[in-house]
Amino acid sequence: MLVELVVWAIRALSLFNTIAFLWLGLAVLLNAERRTLGTWVAGGGLLMAGLFFGVHTTIVARDPGTLGAEFAFWWRAGWSLFIGSPYMWYVVIAWYTNVFRTRWHRSWLCALGLLGVGALAFAGSRTLLPDYDTLIYRAPVAIVSIAGVPIVVLVYSAYGVLCAALALAALRRPAASHRLMGDFGRRRARPWLMAASLLLLVMTVALGVVGAWLLHVLQLGPLVVFSPPTLTILNGIDLAVSALLGLTVILMGRAVVSYEVFTGKALPRGGLRRHWRNSLILAAGYGIVVGGSLSLPVDAIYRLLLATMLLVVFYALLSWRSFAEREQSIQRLRPFVASQRLYDHLLRTADPLDVDVAAPFRALCETVLGARVAHLAAMGPLAPLTGPPLTHPEGSPPPAAELQRLAGELQSSTAICLPVDPRRFEGAVWAVPLWSERGLIGVLLLGDKRDGGLYVQEEIEVARATGERLIDTKAGAEMARRLMTLQRRQLAESQVLDGQTRHVLHDDVLPRVHAAILTLSGSSTVGVEATEAMQMLADVHHRLSDLLRAMPASLAPDVAQLGLIGALRQVIEGELKGAFETVSWQIEPEAELAAQAVPLLVAEVTFRAAREAIRNAARHGRGEDVGRPLHLAITMARDDGLILTVVDNGVGLRAPAVNAGTGQGLVLHSTIMAVIGGTLSAMATPGMGTRVILTFPLSQEL
C-alpha cells in the first residue's frame, strides 16, 4: 500500500511541476516589458524544466518493466538537464542583480561555464557515467575515480555548489538597479529567491550523494534495477527531488508574480498574482486526481474524460470567481462614480457650492488601497482652486513645505510613481504624479499598506485616476462657485447702480435742470440769475460725471494690435496717468517676443488680470496717506512659460481690496487664469507693498 501511495505522490508531483513550470515560464515571456536575453534565459529555463517534468510524467506513469529503448535517451538528457540547471540559475540571478557587470562575477561565469561543459562531457562518457543499457543488462562497470569517489560526482558537486553559492552571494549584494523601483522589488523578493537558491543547493548536494551511492553500488557488482528494494530506493529519491523542485517553483513563482523580478515591470500586478494562485490550485488538483487515476485498472478514455471534467469544473470556478471579483471592484468604485449634484448646488442661491471630495478620498485610502497614510495635494494652475491638501487619517499634517521641491522631480520623470523619504513627507513612501492635458496638476502621497504588502499596478492606476478626478472636480466646482458668486454680485451691483441712477436723475439732476431752465426763462437780464443758472448746470455736469465714473469700466485697449506690454503701457499712461511717482519696466526681449506669439485669448485674460493688479496698487497702495510716494515695477521673464510680475511699495494689499474696484477683483482673475492654464498669486507685506505674480503658458489649445 505504501508503495502505491509513493507512486501516486510521484505522479501527482510530476504533473504539478509540469503545469507550474510551464505556466511560470510562459508568464515570464509573455508579460515581460522588454524581452531581453536575460528574460529569454529565465523564461526558457522554466519552460525546459516544465518539458522535463512532462517527459518525467510519461516515464513514471508507466510500469518500469515496459520502458523501452527511448529511456536510454532520457537517461542522458536528464543528467544534462540536472547539470545545466545550476549554471542557468546562476546566470539568471547574475543578470537580475546586475552583478554580471563586475569582473569577479564575469570571471566566475566563464569558469563555471567551462566546468559545466566538462561535466556534460563527463556525463556523455561511458567510462565516467554508465549508460542505461549497462544498468539494465547488468554489465560490469569500471568508473574513473579519485580517492574512491567517482570523478563525475566530484565535478558535478563542486560545480553545483559553486553555482548555488554564487547565486546566493549575488542576491546578498546586488548591484544598483537601473529600472524604477528595482531595488525595492529586489529587497522584497530576495527572501524568496534566496530560499529557492538554498533548495537548489540542497538538491545539488543530494543528487551528488545519490550519484556517488549509485556509482559505488555499480562498482561493487551488478545492480538489479527493477528489483523491489532498488525501485523503493529510486522512488524515494524521485519523490524527494520532485518535492524539492515543486517547492522551488512555488518560491520562484511567488517572487515573479509578487514583485515582477524577471519581467522588468515597475509594479506587480494583482491579476498576475491571482492567476498564479489559480494555476497552483489547478496543478495540485489535476496532479492528485489524474495521478491517482493512472493507478486505476480502467480504460484510458475514462482517464481522459476525468481530466476533461476536471478542467471544465476548474474553468467554471474561475469564471465564477472572476465575476465575483468584478462585482467587488464595482462596489469599491461606487463612491468615486456617485453624482456630486453639481447642477443642484449651482442653482442654490443661499448655500454656496461645497463639493464633498473627502468621502471618496477616504474610501480610496481605506477600501481600495488600504494605506496607512495618504495626502492629496493640487499643484500648478489648479492649486489656488482646490484649497488645502486632503489627508488620511483626517487631521494629519500635510507635507506642504516639501511639495514645491517634489513638483520639480515629478515634472522630470515619466514613472507611474516615485519613492520618497517618509521623514520628509509625513509618513508617505510613494509619490504618484497626477496629470492632465496641461501638465502636472497634483500629487498623491501614499504610505505603507496596512497589511505590509506592496501596491500593485492596478491599485496605483486606480489611485491616479481617482486623484486626478477629485482634483478636477474640486477645482471645477470652486471655479463655478466663484463665477456664480461674482455673477450674482454683478447683477446685484447693476440693479443698485440702475436704482441709484434713477434716483439721482429723478430727485437731483432733473429738478436742478428744471430750476435752471426756469431761472433762465424768467430772467430779463444776464446778471446774478444767469450766473446761478450756470452754476446749477455745472453741478449737474459734475453729478453726471460721477455717475459715469461709477459705471463699469470702458473697453480695454486693443491687445491684439498693441500686444500685452503695449496695452499695459497705454493703461498706465492713459487711465492711470499720474497715479505713480515712477514706473519701471524690466521686460526681457525674449519674453516680450514670446508674449506676442501667445493666443489672443491668453493675452487678453493676462492683460485684464495685470490691469486689475495695477489698479489695486493705484487705488489702495497709499492707504490713508494720500501723499505717500508710490512706485510701481513691472517685470516679465520666460521660464517654462511666461512670468509677469507687478510690484508696488505701498501699504500692502488687504483682503477687502482683493474684490474691490470694478467688481472683477483678483479672485475672478485667478479663476480665469486657471481656465487658460495659468496662475495668479498675490503676496502682501504690511507697510512694504504687494507682489502679484502671473504665470501663463506660451501656447495653449482653448
Look at 140 and 339; give whichever has higher pLDDT.
339
The string over 225-260, giving b where at least 16 C-beta atoms fall within 10 Å of a residue's C-beta and e elsewhere, is: beeeeebeeebebbbebbbbbbebbbbbbbbbbbbb
Question: What crossing angle do the helices spanning 2-31 and 270-293 adopt, rounded to 10°?
Answer: 150
- For position 669, what pLDDT does the model report? 82
> Tell me: the pLDDT tens digits for 89-130?
888 888 888 887 788 888 888 888 888 887 777 666 665 566
pLDDT tops 70 at residue 533: no
Query: Radius of gyration (Cα) for the chain, nearest Å?
Result: 41
Confidence of residue 657 (pLDDT cuts 50, 70, 90): very low
Among the listed residues 69, 82, 72, the one whose alpha carbon sits nearest the alpha carbon of residue 120: 82
- For position 76, what pLDDT does the model report? 66
- Judged by DSSP in three states, 351 sits in coil
- For position 585, what pLDDT does the model report? 93
Average pLDDT rounded to a whole number, residues 471-497: 74
- For position 662, what pLDDT does the model report? 42
Q: Picking from 165-169, 176-180, 191-195, which range would have the lowest pLDDT averaged per residue?
A: 176-180
Confidence of residue 661 (pLDDT cuts 50, 70, 90): very low
In what helix (H) or strand (E) does residue 436 lie, and over which residues does it extend? Answer: strand 430-436
Joined together, the cell numbers standing for residue 620 give 489702495
- For position 690, what pLDDT does the model report? 92
- For position 586, what pLDDT does the model report? 93
Domain locations along the chain? 1-62+271-334, 70-226, 345-478, 486-550, 559-696
Tell me the one-letter amino acid at 515. Answer: A
Q: Picking from 258-262, 287-291, 630-634, which range would have the lowest pLDDT averaged per residue?
A: 258-262
Q: Which residue has the cell 525595492?
A: 184
Q: How far is CA 112 from CA 80, 87, 163, 297, in A?
A: 15, 7, 7, 48
Average pLDDT, the chain: 79
- For position 227, what pLDDT does the model report? 67
pLDDT tops 90 at residue 426: no
Average pLDDT rounded to a whole number, residues 389-418: 80
Average pLDDT rounded to a whole number, residues 177-187: 67
Average pLDDT rounded to a whole number, residues 352-365: 76
Among the listed residues 631, 635, 620, 648, the one whose alpha carbon sits nearest the alpha carbon of residue 694: 635
Look at 51 and 295; give whichever has higher pLDDT.
51
Q: How far is CA 125 from CA 73, 87, 143, 211, in A?
A: 14, 20, 10, 15
Pairing label, strands 631-638, 582-587: parallel
- For position 659, what pLDDT does the model report? 41
Query: What's the full length of the chain, in residues?
Result: 702
Check residue 449 and report its DSSP letter: B
Bridge partners (DSSP) listed for residue 376:
390, 444
Q: Are 73 and 54 in contact (CB under 8 A)?
A: no
For 345-478, give the CATH class: alpha beta
Q: How far is 454 from 459, CA to CA, in rounded Å? A: 10
- For position 16, what pLDDT does the model report? 94
pLDDT tops 80 at residue 266: no
Q: Picking from 76-80, 466-470, 576-580, 698-702, which range would have the lowest pLDDT averaged per residue?
A: 698-702
pLDDT tops 50 at residue 356: yes
> Which CATH fold topology does 559-696 show?
Heat Shock Protein 90 (3.30.565)
Average pLDDT rounded to a whole number, residues 451-479: 82
Look at 486 and 441; give whichever has higher pLDDT.
441
- For position 660, what pLDDT does the model report? 42
- For position 646, what pLDDT does the model report? 94
Among the listed residues 637, 631, 627, 621, the one whose alpha carbon sits nearest the alpha carbon of residue 685: 621
